[in-house]
Amino acid sequence: MKVGCSLLCIAAMVGVSNFVIAAESAANYPTKPIRLVVPWPPGGGTDVFARVIGQKLSERVGYNVVIDNRPGAAGNIGAEMVARSPPDGYTIMLATITLATNPSMYKSLNFDPLKDFDPITLVAGVPHVLVVSPSLAVNSVKDLIALAKTEPGKLNYASAGSGSPFHLAAELFKLLTGTTIVHVPYQGGGPAITAVIGGQVQLTFGNLVAVLPLVKGGKLKALGVTSAMRSSAAPDLPTIAEEGVRGYDFSSWFGFFAPAATPKEIVGKLNREIVRILKTPEMKQRLTQDGADVVASNPQEFGAYLATETKKWTQVIKQAGIRAD
């Protein structure tokens, strides 16, 4: 009995000690630079968000937030790396809707999106835009559909990788319009958009944040926005549904995650700091004018949203027969 009691006492003391150390660590966090993993290449919408918010987060916490682009496999390579990182708050990730769609797109993943990450905050929702090369002789969604049906298989679309939002938006478009347009996957949104600008492919479904400045600069031609409603950032641009594609509605989202088991105090501090940044007039104006619908949720809300999104897209992907190439 005495031995058992001693062991229990020692175990209790160790538990309390670990708790105290974790609490002190969280209270002093951060004490060194934070790595912000972006599972996409530079130049895409996720990268734009990460750099804008990361700079402000650096100013608030007093340490550099270092952007680490880890593209590949529709965000899976970067996500797996973060899932396997120490849960100490010094490696976090800005992920996209692919965290909810990839479980249905890929036969096997080396991580579980619902178990291997601690949600920090949902940043924003962002529609995509159907854009084409300025040299392509179409000026509307209806023109594009007519051309695709006249010459099936002759048009190509660029995606940010198999299973990426670009891919999903395009395959949904093909499904609802009965068109045959060839998929050309790239290693991220930036390269996909560059390919359209350069004329290597004819079109893509880039997120509004990344393509709107290029549309305004005349490097891309916008035909329609993927959301159910027009975007306040581009009110003159019709929705694809308005152009005759009934039921078409697609929007992406961005959110911050930490590895699972990151101390709640650290997750909470990151949430508070990022939410404060998102709610500043300067940041809200910047993101809104880029077409983003700022959300700034708490961790629990974001976790519930991820679960709902995962369930929804599992059903949609199965019904549409969409698969990663």
3 state SS for 149-188 = HHCCCCCEEEECCCCCHHHHHHHHHHHHHCCCCEEEECCC
pLDDT of residue 298: 97
pLDDT of residue 73: 86
pLDDT of residue 20: 47
pLDDT of residue 24: 53
Beta bridge partners of 183: 157
d(CA 233, CA 292): 8
Give 223-236 pLDDT, tens digit per residue.
999 998 999 888 99
Q: What is the pTM of this model?
A: 0.78
Which residue has 């369930």 as its token pair?
311
Say whether 127-225 and 29-126+251-320 share the same fold: yes
DSSP structure class, residue 239: B
Average pLDDT value over all residues in the chain? 90
Report the chain's C-alpha Rg in angstroms: 22
Specify the fold of 29-126+251-320: D-Maltodextrin-Binding Protein; domain 2 (3.40.190)
Give 142-182 pLDDT, tens digit per residue.
999 999 999 999 999 999 888 888 998 998 899 899 999 99
pLDDT of residue 18: 44
In the chain, what are the domain boundaries? Answer: 29-126+251-320, 127-225
Residues of the chain with pLDDT under 50: 1, 3, 14, 17-21
d(CA 42, CA 68): 9
Cα angle 65, 188, 37 (rounded to 5 degrees) comes to 20
Which class is 127-225 in CATH? alpha beta
